[in-house]
Amino acid sequence: MKQLLQTLTQIPAPSGREDEIRAAIQKMIQPYADEIRVDALGNLIARKGKKAKDGRRILLAAHMDEIGLMVSHVDTDGFARFSTLGGFRPHRRVGTRIRFLNGVMGVIGLEREAEEKDRAPSLDRYFIDTGANSAKDSPVKVGDAAVYDSLFLDLGDRVVSKCLDDRVGVALLIESLTRLKSGKNEVWYVFTVQEEVGARGAGPASYGIDPEIGLAVDVTVANNMPNTRGRNPISLGGGPAIKVKDAGVVADPRIVQAMTRLAEKNRIPHQFEVIESIGTDARAMQVTGLGAQTGGLAIPLRNLHSPSEMIDMGDVKNAARLLAAFLREA
């Protein structure tokens, strides 16, 4: 699993630019899926099994995209101004290295006058320094996208990288698809696009599949750090979190109860997620078409939307166990 995570996190895929990661995932799952297609938005959709009379149609979603930046213009001195793709907070990232999809490297900078103010500067005060001296010399142009330049770190029981949100969910779906034996349920694995900019991919995918059950496999904020526990008691290493509520969805009680029962039955460490600050693909699945019983399974993560997100491999292992149990007994 660590090797899979390293492979996935080192592929750049800012929102709207998921082609490379989609191709890599499709190659991995091709031998194991009964059907694979790519829809108009770019979602990668794979089916395993066929629904029996007493079976259910289940949709599992994990998003392929990651937060990033897009060049909005290049000024006369060669500095690239930018728009954000998703929850990218530039006031926390001054001096951070980024890599464009064309391979060009840059560093996030802030105008000197803006640095001296107490409040967070507006987006137009930031720039990307690619080393260019003029607009003519710039190696990037309007519309070019970039992500963090970040190495994968193996810290034993824990790993650190950019975009573990949500490559860990992608990895869990890949592992599930390759190991799942066909049964009474029809399981659709959807690797979604543009989640970070409003969960845009999950809705159309769900509309085309019309699931009875939808489950978003994503991350949640771990707060077992100095002075951060607050009202959200999710802990790194405490097990996967069963979604009860997030910013976009109130999970179906039947899904919460089923996952809780299975976790207890199989002695799987678990937590419960009630959080206001983040949303997932779950909302889109819940309200698309005729709707679906919807829930989520979340991996605790530190340093969300940073170049150094951290997860615990024990949480990943237990999430895989709980997901497998749910698919067997749903």
Per annotation, catalytic residue among 195, 196, 212, 309: 195
Q: CA–CA distance from 284 to each of 134, 200, 287 (Å)? A: 44, 8, 6
Q: What is the DSSP letter of 121?
A: P
Angle, vertex CA 65, rays to CA 263 and CA 126, nearest 5: 125
Phi, psi at residue 307, to the nearest 5°? -70, -10
For the question of residue 196 being annotated catalytic, the response is no
Half-sphere exposure of 132 (CA within 13 A, CB side): 23
Q: Are 191 and 170 in contact (CB under 8 A)?
A: yes
Tokens, residue 26: 């499709």
Which residues have a Cβ under 8 Å from the Cβ of 29 and sit 6 or more positions away?
Answer: 36, 46, 174, 177, 178, 189
Half-sphere exposure of 315 (CA within 13 A, CB side): 29
Phi, psi at residue 71, to the nearest 5°? -65, 130
Tokens, residue 276: 């206001």
Phi, psi at residue 175, to the nearest 5°? -65, -40
Q: CA–CA distance from 217 to each of 166, 195, 316 (Å)? A: 8, 12, 11
Q: Are 297 and 241 in contact (CB under 8 A)?
A: yes
Cis amide bond preceding 281, omega within 30 = no
Residue positions annotated with a catalytic role: 195
